[in-house]
């Protein structure tokens, strides 16, 4: 749903770990002619200060949400052709970079998960605390909605979605309850789904946590193909980096963070077979990790901005060209 009244993007969103992201990207973004991809542009909360800090920088901002692109466009308009916006999912990063006229990049930033814009608009259906149509598509112009998944997926598939993407221990119970409920009436609104989950949840569990949290996360990941997209996007972004280029990734749930960790850590290790007398150049690590494990937001930021509470930040620098 597009709004007819202009809104101020800076008032809608407080970027997470902004100073740390700027610090990590600065060595790569500072050189004249540098190109950085903000793979999750959102409302431009990270991109605007990046462009302000580095006058020689060109930024390519990707987002699958047309409304976010429109809002970011207003925010970044003053930077002219230094800010290039692309309607794309972040696993399309190679095509987006080439479409903008570049072969390689100096930095990539991923701020994963749901944007403030999507969470704060009840009609998008992302939040279980607000009754709304069960949409959950980040790009509302295409794809299957959450309501359609709930209406058509067999019980086994629903269980697998809740187990894999929500790590929900009651996945089987919830899948059975949904199949029984949809036989009586379609589950088309978030309030309906919450009611079904509440009724299927033992009282002891209801007292510990909201039964909808993990199910809603799982449905969102399924609808938007988030893990499959991420699994393709991180290697593609690393491959685009020039020597000295840097990648910064912020994850908000353990499934995302594990994928990011696997890729960045794996490419920061030697690939030399055991027993070789010396390490050949092509076996040397491609990346140098810039963080010790996953960094958390500081306590003061977590208090100011609750959306920073679950964040896990990882970053790396390219130190060797890949063998092509």
**Strand stretches in the chain, DSSP E:** 35-38, 58-63, 83-87, 105-111, 241-251, 287-289, 312-318
Asked whether residue 257 is marked as a ligand-binding residue, the answer is no
How far apart are alpha carbons 250 and 48 in whole angstroms? 18
Structural Rg of the chain based on CA atoms: 21
Q: What is the DSSP string of 208-228?
A: TS-TTHHHHHHHHHHHHTHHH
Q: Tokens in use for 209?
A: 């946590």
Asked whether residue 111 is marked as a ligand-binding residue, the answer is yes
Asked whether residue 91 is marked as a ligand-binding residue, the answer is no
Q: Angle at the Cα of 226 (from 11 to 322), degrees rounded to 5? A: 105
Number of Cβ within 10 Å of residue 251's Cβ equals 23
CA 161 to chain centre: 18
Closest to 174 (Cα-Cα) out of 186, 148, 190, 156: 156
Asked whether residue 63 is marked as a ligand-binding residue, the answer is yes
Q: Tokens in use for 265?
A: 């850590």
**33 phi, psi to nearest 5 deg:** 85, 5
Q: Tokens in use for 113?
A: 């998960």
Asked whether residue 45 is marked as a ligand-binding residue, the answer is yes
Helix (H) or strand (E) holding 150: helix 146-152
Give 273's DSSP letter: P
Residues annotated within the binding site are 44-46, 63, 90, 111, 118
Residues annotated within the binding site for S-adenosyl-L-methionine are 44-46, 63, 90, 111, 118
């Amino acid at each position: 749903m597009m709004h007819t009244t202009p809104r101020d993007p800076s008032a809608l969103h407080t970027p997470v770990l902004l100073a740390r992201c700027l610090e990590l990207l600065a060595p790569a973004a500072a050189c004249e002619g540098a190109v950085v991809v903000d793979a999750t542009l959102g409302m431009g909360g990270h991109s605007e200060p990046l462009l302000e800090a580095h006058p020689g920088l060109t930024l390519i901002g990707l987002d699958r949400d047309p409304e976010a692109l429109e809002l970011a466009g207003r925010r970044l308009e003053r930077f002219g052709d230094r800010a290039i916006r692309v309607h794309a999912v972040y696993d399309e990063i190679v095509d987006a970079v080439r479409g903008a006229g570049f072969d390689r990049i100096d930095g990539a930033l991923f701020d994963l998960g749901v944007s403030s814009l999507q969470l704060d608009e009840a009609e998008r259906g992302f939040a279980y605390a607000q009754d709304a149509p069960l949409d959950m598509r980040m790009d509302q112009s295409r794809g299957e909605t959450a309501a359609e998944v709930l209406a058509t997926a067999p019980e086994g598939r629903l269980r697998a979605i809740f187990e894999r993407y929500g790590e929900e221990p009651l996945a089987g119970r919830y899948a059975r309850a949904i199949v029984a409920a949809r036989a009586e009436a379609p589950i088309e609104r978030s309030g309906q789904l919450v009611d079904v989950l509440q009724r299927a949840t033992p009282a002891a569990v209801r007292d510990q946590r909201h039964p909808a949290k993990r199910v809603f996360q799982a449905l969102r990941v399924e609808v938007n193909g988030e893990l499959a997209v991420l699994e393709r996007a991180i290697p593609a972004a690393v491959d685009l980096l020039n020597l000295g280029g840097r990648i910064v990734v912020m994850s908000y749930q353990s499934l995302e963070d594990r994928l990011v960790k696997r890729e960045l850590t794996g490419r920061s290790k030697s690939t030399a077979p055991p027993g070789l007398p010396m390490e050949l150049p092509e076996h040397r690590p491609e990346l140098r990790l810039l963080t010790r494990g996953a960094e958390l937001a500081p306590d003061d930021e977590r208090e100011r901005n609750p959306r920073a509470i679950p964040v896990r930040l990882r970053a790396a620098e390219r130190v060797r060209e890949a063998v092509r």
